[in-house]
Amino acid sequence: MRLENYVGGQFVPARSAATLDDIGPATGEVITTLPRSGPEDVDDAVRAATTAMEGRWGRATVAERADLCDAIADRIEAELDRFAALESLDTGKPVQLARTVDIPRAVSNFRFFAGAVRHGRTSMHEMDDAINYTVRRPLGVVGLITPWNLPLYLLSWKVAPALATGNAVVAKPSEITPLTASALADVVHRLGAPPGAFNLIHGLGAEVGQAMTEHPGIHGISFTGGTATGKRVGAAASATFKKLSLELGGKNATIVLDDADLDAHLATIARASFANQGQICLCGSRILVHRSRHDELVERLVAHLGTLVVGDPRDPATTFGSLTSHAHRDKVESYVRLAREEGGTVVYGGGRPVLPAPLDAGAFLQPTLITGLSPSCRTATEEIFGPVVSVHPFDSDAEATALANSVRYGLAAAVFTEGLTRAHRIANDLQTGMVWVNCWLKRDLRVPFGGVKDSGVGREGGDYSMGFYTQDKNVCIQL
Ligand code: NAD
Ligand code: 6OD
């Protein structure tokens, strides 16, 4: 199996014929190769997308666009096992997680935006002597750049609204996890979508992503990834006045108040910390807990972590897989060392699990819980993006909020309390784009998704995505 780009309805190698290896992180073995594309391949894709907008795809009706999204959803759903196996192989995540979260969510993304565009509304503003009506038109050619942690989930979160609203897409998935993006291109191809409506270019961020953000033929960029990369994307995209959506990093707080019902919520607190091996931008990598509940929470979390099944991602019984690359594990491990230097006590994990061959060569790291760190130390304030979570006591709701707000990021937070008034007050005072109360990652696809501070610019989801991928035109008629 060799992956190829998908340009103008054809599967093609990079013009240079250069390739990159795709490594399966659970074993370190090469799974396949992918094109190491360059600016010339991006040019080809933009040309194909522009031609599509000038041709059949640009004239597609709302019903045709919605039907295409529904058909993509149906195909992915019908091939759930294949997609889940590919996602697990590429990322090291448990296949069961891919089967129950990643792939079903990709299906929902396509179905949701098919429905959204079918039921879309525009506005009319009446004056005494004139009427204004506002129409929504696609942006044109949009560039979609995505990370490795939830490959198809996040790619489809962008492709679905972009196609539903009538844009032509140039997509660039992470070079670390290209498999399901290629499987999506295969589905689009088999469905006979108009050539050039969906184009896929594989390759490195600095080579393909950078060329996309600089390309004058791309009218908008939706980027999900790290904050440092987001800065580069923003700077490059501004030179050609591209519309921009940036979903970036986080250092989210899970706040456990003195009245939290741990019997009801312990499993959610653990999931918020360690789901997908802690590699979800929304994971609560800092647990702030009222001092009166600190020891109880730590003890119960340690017991819970002991029940996780670390091992072969292909095994349906596995609940904790490998990290997505060896380089990333090196980075996460460096934070465990740093935490020890900063005076932390590792109360669970901290090392590599002992696993049989070939998993012994995989990028595994135990779920790791650390106490005793200052909330202002590097471990507690920098994004680690892995299964390393620190626990910090506080004495008042005001202190919890201040600690939560003390970092440069502002993506999400979760609050656990039985007190409704306290929950409202804390939710109001938190400097984040999203707050969950007594739950985590509960998703209604209509609500705004995005962060403040260094966690990004703009919102995606529901009307926010429909607005991002379109431009409004007002027509004023004198009566
Ligand atoms: P990354 O920033 O390294 O890469 C993301 C994507 O950008 C990849 O496709 C990469 O190839 C590309 N890229 C790299 N350099 C580029 C450049 N100069 N120009 C254009 N594109 C470039 O991020 P990652 O390591 O793949 O993912 C982890 C990061 O993503 C974490 O910081 C995490 O918090 C963040 N993330 C955020 C969200 C969110 O919704 N806020 C969701 C998932 C991940
Ligand atoms: O749920 C979503 O819509 C979303 N964008 C999740 C992002 C998760 C980050 O890793």
pLDDT at 454 over 80: yes
- Please name which of 78, 327, 280, 286 lies closest in space to residue 183, comparing C-alpha atoms: 78
| Predicted pLDDT at 104 | 99
Do 231 and 90 lie in one domain? The reply is yes
User: Phi/psi of residue 269, each to 5°?
Assistant: -60, -40
Query: Residue 89 falls within a domain, yes or no?
Result: yes
Q: What SS3 state is found at 369? A: strand
Proportion of the chain above pLDDT 90, given as a percent: 100
Q: Which of 362, 275, 282 is nearest to 322 (CA)?
A: 362
Residues 414 and 463 in one domain: no
Identify whether 450 is part of a domain: no
Residue from 101, 146, 149, 154 to probe ligand 2 pocket by mutation (most atoms less than 8 Å from CB):
154
Question: Of 182, 128, 236, 256, which Cα lies nearest the Cα of 12?
Answer: 182
- Pair 271, 219 in one domain: no
Q: Residues 25, 364: contact at Cβ < 8 Å?
A: no
What's the pLDDT score for residue 374?
98
| 138 in the same domain as 31 | yes
CA–CA gap between residue 122 and residue 76 (Å, rounded): 31
Most informative mutation of 20, 101, 145, 411 for ligand 1 (most atoms within 8 A of CB): 145
Residues 369-380: tens digit of each pLDDT: 999 999 999 999
User: Residue 422: is its pLDDT beyond 70?
Assistant: yes
The Å distance, Cα 124 to ligand 1 centre, comes to 39
- Residue 117's Cβ-count burial label (10 Å; 0-12, 13-18, 19+) is buried
Using a 6 Å CB cutoff, which residues line ligand 1?
A: 145-149, 154, 172, 174-175, 205-206, 209-210, 213, 224-226, 229, 232-233, 247-250, 281, 383, 385, 411, 451, 456
Same domain? For 267 and 235 the reply is no
What pLDDT digit, counting tens, does each position of 147-156 carry? Answer: 999 999 999 9
Handedness of CA 408, 412, 414, 419 (dihedral sign): positive
Same domain, 216 and 350: no
Structure-block tokens of residue 248: 């970036």
Q: What digits encode the pLDDT tens for the residues 378-413?
A: 999 999 999 999 999 999 999 999 999 999 999 999
Residue 135 confidence (pLDDT) above 80: yes
Closest CA to 253 of 208, 228, 285: 285
One domain for residues 206 and 351: no
CA distance 8 to 69: 18
Mean pLDDT of the chain: 98
Where do the H-state alpha helices sit in 208-311? Answer: 210-214, 227-238, 262-274, 294-305
Question: Is the model's pLDDT at 101 over the cut of 80?
Answer: yes
Q: 140 and 39, same structural domain? A: yes
What is the domain-level CATH number for residue 315?
3.40.309.10
Confidence (pLDDT) at 1? 67
> What's the pTM?
0.98
Task: Give the CA distances from residue 83 to residues 26, 256, 294, 350, 464, in Å, rounded to whole numbers and listed in that order.
Answer: 17, 36, 41, 32, 28
Q: State pLDDT tens for residues 261-304.
A: 999 999 999 999 999 999 999 999 999 999 999 999 999 999 99
- Does the structure show a pLDDT above 90 at 316? yes
- What is the residue range of 412's domain? 253-445
Say if residue 103 is in the same domain as residue 21: yes
The CATH number assigned to the domain holding 186 equals 3.40.605.10
Q: In the chain, how many domains are there?
A: 2
